[in-house]
Every structure is written in structure tokens, then in C-alpha cells.
Amino acid sequence: MKIALVGYGKMGKIIDEIATKRGHEVVARLKETPTAETLNSPDVVIEFSLPEVAFDNIKACLENKIPVICGTTGWLERKTEIENLAVENETAFLYGSNFSLGVNLFFALNEKLADLMKSVDEYSCQLEEIHHIHKLDAPSGTAISIAEGIFKSNPKYEAWKLEETQEKNLGIFAIREDEVPGTHSVYYKSEVDEIEIKHTAFNRNGFALGAVVAAEWIKDKKGNFTMKDVLGL
């Protein structure tokens, strides 16, 4: 495949290396909003940039009828507009708050546990996420996805807040620490015990590999997708 990388920071460089090792050709490495000329006719775009520019980056690609894999978080208030653009331009869009295989299995486990806990009133749920100090958005997109999985399976909670859990507001502690790639925990605590599930990333390679696998999967497809579609979860 011919892959264009939009956003060429640490993640972009790792994706470049992994895509090349898997036999793909990286035809563009962009740090600015793409155009038809600078994209250089790719089969797919992988977009890992910054929250303030992600919408314009994705919009430009979709308007050129190029499918987009997006891993940028912090811009999701406009996600519906992008999904509509993908349909209008008869191309494809896949957003992932986290492309790691392990994290996506963790998402499925989180939903299952939330379903088991919905009728057990003795326990209160709390989320925690830890990321490197350079991460701009808080909570992380992954933490928001975890919270949404809990809302889907457990009607006790309706919204999240950056604080301790209170009634129907699910609490998220967002911690920024050194160079931590990403650690996410879900706690269910009662007066007598605590249940915890946790995912710890050791480096960014799992995220990058998942993005390339998603790019391979989305070629020739039309519509809006998630990593659940890619992994068959």
C-alpha cells in the first residue's frame, strides 16, 4: 500500500518504521494540513497530529476521497461532521482512541465487567489514567472510551468528570508523569474489598502497529469504522 502520514511526531516516526517493515511505501510525511499535491496519491492516510488541527487534516483527506485512520484525541466534538464527510465522499474513516490490540481487548473486558457490576450496589467505580507530561488532552481519549463502555453496560453512570466518582458522575483521575506511554485502570471499590483491571503500555509500538493494521484493513472499504471492526470484537 501507499501510505501518507499526516502528523510526523514520535508516533508518526514509529508508524513510518513499522509500515516500511511490513512492505508498504510511505509516500508523504506531513506536519502541515495536507493538500492533494502534498498527499502524493496514497491508498490511505494515517493521521496522528494535534487536537487543534486534526479536524482540518482529516477533512482535507476525506474531501480528496482518501480513507483516513485517525489516532488524534481531543477533537471529538466534531467527529459527527467527519463521519458525515466520509459518507458524502464515498470513502472511509476509522477513529481509534487507542490502536493497541491489548487496549481493545481491555475495552471488551471493561464492558463485560461493567455489565456484571450493574446490579451490585455495594461497589463504586473509579477510573485512573497516567500519561507522559507532553500529552495535551485530559482525560485521555482511551479513558473516555473506557468510560463510554461503562455507560453502555451500567446505567448507574451517565457522565464522566475529572474528579472522584459522585453519584451518576463517573470519576476519572488524569495523571501526567514523566515519559509514561499510557496506563489505564478501572477500580470497583466497596467497604470490604476492591476489584481492579489495568492495562499498562510499555512503549508506543503497540499503538503504531495497530494503526498500520487498521490501514491495511480499511483499504477499499466505505463508511465509518472502529478497531472493533478491524479485530472482529
Cβ(229)–Cβ(107) under 8 Å? no
The question of whether 199 is a catalytic residue gets the answer no
99 is in an annotated binding site: yes
97 is in an annotated binding site: yes
For 106, residues 6+ apart whose C-beta sits below 8 A from its C-beta are 146, 184, 197, 199
Catalytic residue among 10, 13, 24, 135: 135
Instruction: For CA atoms 40, 46, 51, 55, give the dihedral sign.
Output: positive
What distance in Å separates the CA atoms of residue 218 and residue 47, rounded to the nearest whole number? 14
199 is in an annotated binding site: no
141 is in an annotated binding site: yes
226 is in an annotated binding site: no
Catalytic residue among 131, 156, 184, 199: 131
149 is in an annotated binding site: no
The question of whether 131 is a catalytic residue gets the answer yes
132 is in an annotated binding site: yes
Instruction: For CA atoms 31, 211, 73, 218, give the dihedral sign.
Output: positive
SS (H, E, C) 149-214: HHHHHCCCCCEEECCCCECCEEEEEEEECCCCCCEEEEEEECCCCEEEEEEECCCCHHHHHHHHHH
Catalytic residues: 131, 135
Residues belonging to the binding site for NADP(+) are 31
Residues belonging to the binding site for (S)-2,3,4,5-tetrahydrodipicolinate are 132, 141-142
Residues belonging to the binding site for NAD(+) are 71-73, 96-99
Residues belonging to the binding site are 31, 71-73, 96-99, 132, 141-142
